[in-house]
Amino acid sequence: MPDDTIEQLRNGMLALEIDAALKATDAVVNSQSKVAVKEAVEAVTQALQVVGKKFQDGEWFLAELVYAGEIAKEIMARLSPLMQAEDSQSQGTIVVGTVAGDLHDLGKNIFINYARTAGFKVIDLGIDVPTAKFVGAVKEHQPLALGMSCLLTSTEKELGKVVDELKKQGVRETVKVVIGGAALSERSASNAAADAFAPDAITGLDMIKKWSAAR
Ligand code: B12
């Protein structure tokens, strides 16, 4: 793989040149290098942060935001098969979803890929997940952890609703709740009475590994 492949992937995304971005992605895939895959995922994440800033500053519009999201999705679809678990023994179950009203799933999916790679069984509820579906899945699968993703300030209140409903249905103490996503902070976790806020996927996974070990 040429030295500047990751740079080309990042530049391809930021220039919204899907062919260039995917050509670089394919070079990463062909290298079969786990380190290169990790660097590629980080490059996608960083590029999306720049995209968000451009959108926020009015430099880019919704069409560009949507297209950048599509390119990222295509890149991640090609990288995901290289992030499969080496250890087939399950480390425990995690239920994951993006809260009601929120359609962002790239970060959630990155977290899921890392969690599956680490040997966890992940039940992916998808996006725009209503409270009842989160709570139903916790009751059905009795997971070690529930992970909720939230990228919009306007949907942050959904996190607390889910935790409240877990309490009402008597299952709050059976599961650790971790939240993640660009709109959130430590404060969001305490507001929602969640167990933890994860600033990124790896940190979230590390927390869950510790909970798993302490069981
Ligand atoms: C791509 C994108 C989109 C795409 C989403 C495509 C997709 N399939 O996900 C599309 C175009 C659909 C979109 C739509 C909108 N978006 Co948008 N979007 C983004 C953008 C640029 C990148 C998000 C992203 O994927 N980042 C990369 C991933 C890897 O990062 P991440 O999600 O934070 O995830 C990491 C961690 O947070 C963590 N993590 C995330 N979830 C979880 C869960 C668990 C359990 C754990 C442990 C960890 C974890 O792990 C990940 C990897 O480390 C952000 C900008 C930004 N700075 O985030 C805006 C942004 C989130 N969007 C924004 C807005 C306003 C919108 C729209 C309302 C725009 C509009 N006017 O229509 C709509 C809302 C649609 C809806 N109802 O959800 C705002 C939100 C502002 C706010 N605070 O509320 C942002 C911040 C842009 C901005 N600066 O204005 N968007």
Whether the per-residue pLDDT at 187 is higher than 80: the answer is yes
More confident residue, 119 or 9: 9
Q: What is the pLDDT of residue 87?
A: 54
For a ligand 1 pocket test, name from 79, 151, 177 the mutation site with the most ligand atoms within 8 angstroms of its C-beta.
151
Q: What is the mean pLDDT of residues 49-78?
A: 94
Residue 90 scores a pLDDT above 90? no
Domains of the chain are 5-83 (1.10.1240.10), 93-214 (3.40.50.280)
Mean pLDDT within 21-35: 96
Other beta carbons within 10 Å of 158: 23
Work out the pLDDT band at 116, boundaries 50, 70, 90. Answer: confident
Q: Which residues of 141-156 are buried (b: 16+ CB within 10 A; e: fewer)?
A: eebbbbbbbbbbeebb
Q: Check whether 86 has a pLDDT greater than 90.
A: no
130 with 178: CB under 8 angstroms? no
Task: Report the separation in Å between the CA atom of 102 and the middle of ligand 1, taken as the mean of its atom positions.
Answer: 9
Q: Are 120 and 96 in contact (CB under 8 A)?
A: no
Q: Which two tokens stand for residue 142?
A: 């009795």
Write the residue with the smallest CA distance to atom 68 of ligand 1.
152
Query: Residues 149-173: pLDDT tens digits?
Result: 999 999 999 999 999 999 999 999 9
Reported confidence tier of residue 36, pLDDT bands at 50, 70, 90: very high
Answer whether 9's CB lies under 8 Å from 44's CB: yes
pLDDT(47) > 90 = yes
Bridge partners of 123, per DSSP, are 95
| CB of 151 shorter than 6 A to ligand 1 | yes
- List the one residue out of 166, 95, 170 whose CA is nearest residue 132: 166
Amino acid at 200: D
Q: State pLDDT tens for residues 190-215.
A: 999 999 999 999 899 999 999 999 88
Q: What is the pLDDT of residue 1?
A: 85
Give the number of residues written for the chain.
Answer: 215
What is the reported pTM?
A: 0.91
Question: What local confidence, expressed as pLDDT, does residue 85 receive?
Answer: 58
